[in-house]
Structure 1
Amino acid sequence: MRDTWPETFAALAAADLTYAEVGATRDASLPSAYGHVLRDVVVGKGRGAFEQAAEGLFTWQMHREAGLAPVSTAQRAAVGAIVVLRAGLGPARLAIPCRVVYTEEESDRRGFAYGTLPGHPECGEEAFLVRYTTSGEVHVRIRAFSRPASLLARAGEPLSRLAQAYATSRYITAIRRLANSAG
């Protein structure tokens, strides 16, 4: 499949996102017609932990550490970058295409959000933000809204919600590990 990545990325770059509320993970309230995820967890302490966590997030390392195999048009998350997250093995491997829709890169707040593209089992947006607080704590905040994108996904919606909760927990564990690898 590696030989088809240029064609895959070209098709995804030309595709529209599969939802209308682009950027809504920045808002105080998430769109009501979707299921929601909101987790805000302390993952470390100190500026070094913050820098390491932010770097791991932006370079797709968090996704790799969480057990996904990302393939992207960019080494670092940037607006417009396409990432295909791959879950599973062999013929059961699921391709999960997304596009980065915004980034935040301030001294004490760094992160990005990506939105779903055609072929993703869900439609919606997920945002990842690493924050450094005045007390020196490092937080990761994950906000998402989504709903099933296909008939098959709708039929398995309870399993989809469990899979999303599992993935969110794995992201948090990965960021915690990355933050605490600062040394």
Structure 2
Amino acid sequence: MFLLRPPTPAQTEQFLTAQRALKATSYGELCATREGQCPVGYLSDQHRFVLGAGEACFRRAVAALRSWQVFETPWVTLLNPDAPFEVGATLALLVRHLGFYSLIGNRVVYLLEDERRVGFGYGTLEGHAFAGEERFVVEWLPTGEVVFELFAFSRPALPLARVGQPVVRRFQAAGAAQYGAAMVRAVQGPEASPHDPDGGSASSMP
């Protein structure tokens, strides 16, 4: 859904009601990102940020992820931040770009709840410019480092996305950086800057 101005609360709720009623995601390879798999016919992207080290850092990062602070960015805003951190939750995301707004829906399709690795994967719903899935993970590595990682696969779902894919990919790169910056701020404080040790590519979808 494309808008010239941010949606009203009533519009957001109407959109969420419609998205929650959808029975399936807009792609068939459900939960493929759980094991880092990219299905044939999709582009994959990965990005990793160092958040700090130690158990206290890991606990802060997990709390930030579970409260959706990853979406506290200048570019992407979660319009229903009270959504439960659970499989089946539908998220309404407002994306700002090129002087207009996009209202898109994604559904949480799995959770990762290990002792040293916590995260979730969400998939696109009908109306999204791209079809695919993205994984958001916080991990406490054996080295002691705590990292935040994005992994995604996607392909254009609308004609406009196909035509403008080079431009869209630049926006996706900016989006990945903003997700990383949001997690770094949540864990380290507002003055911290994100660091990508891998020099990875952008996450492929909001």
User: 1:115 offset after TM fit, Å?
Assistant: 0.3
Aligned residue runs from structure 1 range 155-170, under 5 A: 155-170=163-178
CA distance in 1, matches of 2:91, 2:61: 19
Which secondary structure does the structure 2 equivalent of 1:52 belong to? helix
Query: Match of 1:122?
Result: 130
**Could you say if the C-alpha distance between residues 163 and 9 of structure 1 is closer, same or farther in structure 2, counting changes exceeding 3 Å?**
same
User: 1:107 offset after TM fit, Å?
Assistant: 2.0
Q: Which amino acid aligns with 1:172?
A: G
Query: Match of 2:202?
Result: none
2:143 pairs, out of 121, 135, 138, with 135
Q: Unaligned regions of 5+ residues in structure 1, if any?
A: none
Query: Match of 2:13?
Result: 6
Is 1:29 aligned with 2:51? no
Query: Match of 1:19?
Result: 27
Does the CA contact (< 8 Å) of 2:61 and 2:186 recur in 1? yes
**Could you say if the C-alpha distance between residues 9 and 40 of structure 1 is closer, same or farther in structure 2, counting changes exceeding 3 Å?**
same
CA distance in 1, matches of 2:118, 2:69: 15
1:83 pairs, out of 64, 82, 91, with 91
**Structure with greater proportional helix content:** 1
TM-score w.r.t. length of structure 1: 0.90
Q: How many residues align?
A: 181
**Could you say if the C-alpha distance between residues 66 and 41 of structure 1 is closer, same or farther in structure 2, counting changes exceeding 3 Å?**
same
Q: Deviations over 1:84-123 (max 9, x none)?
A: 110228x811112100000112221110011001121111
**Could you say if the C-alpha distance between residues 74 and 101 of structure 1 is closer, same or farther in structure 2, counting changes exceeding 3 Å?**
farther
TM-score w.r.t. length of structure 2: 0.80
User: 1:135 offset after TM fit, Å?
Assistant: 2.7
User: 1:125 offset after TM fit, Å?
Assistant: 0.3
**Could you say if the C-alpha distance between residues 81 and 73 of structure 1 is closer, same or farther in structure 2, counting changes exceeding 3 Å?**
farther
Query: Match of 1:100?
Result: 108
Query: Match of 2:3?
Result: none
Does the CA contact (< 8 Å) of 1:74 and 1:82 recur in 2? no
Worse-superposed segment, 98-107 or 4-13: 4-13
CA distance in 2, matches of 1:84, 1:134: 35
User: 1:28 offset after TM fit, Å?
Assistant: 4.2
Q: Unaligned regions of 5+ residues in structure 2, if any?
A: 1-7, 190-206
Does the CA contact (< 8 Å) of 1:74 and 1:81 recur in 2? no
**Could you say if the C-alpha distance between residues 66 and 139 of structure 1 is closer, same or farther in structure 2, counting changes exceeding 3 Å?**
farther
Worse-superposed segment, 32-41 or 146-155: 32-41
Query: Match of 2:155?
Result: 147
